[in-house]
Amino acid sequence: MDFLTILGLIAGTLTTLSFLPQVIKTWQSKSAKDFSFGMLITFSLGIFLWLVYGIGKNELPIILPNFVTLVLNSLIILIKFKYR
């Protein structure tokens, strides 16, 4: 693995992990009322497009973190619907 791939994986890991405390807090409180539905959908669409781009370029540092972030954001959307 070259330096840029490792750098990309570290960057992707850090940005994805930064989202994790919010998911945990939302899960524990069973409330996503402070999240705008429009923001959640727009963010998911952007992450999905980054994922498609990463797959098209076959770039693991783009694919992996965006896949995980999409799953985490989807959890917040599910919580928003389930506990509204």
Mean pLDDT of the residues in the chain: 94
Q: List phi, psi (to 5°) of 46.
A: -60, -45
Other Cβ atoms less than 10 A from the Cβ of 22: the count is 14
pTM assigned to the model: 0.88
pLDDT band (50, 70, 90) for residue 53: very high
Give the angle 76-69-39 at the CA atoms, nearest 5°.
50
pLDDT the model gives residue 14:
95
Q: Could you report the per-residue pLDDT of 19-52, keeping only the tens digit for each?
A: 899 999 999 998 988 889 999 999 999 999 999 9
pLDDT the model gives residue 84:
80
What whole-number distance in Å separates Cα of residue 74 and Cα of residue 59?
A: 22
Give which of 63, 61, 69 is closest to 7, Cα–Cα. Answer: 61
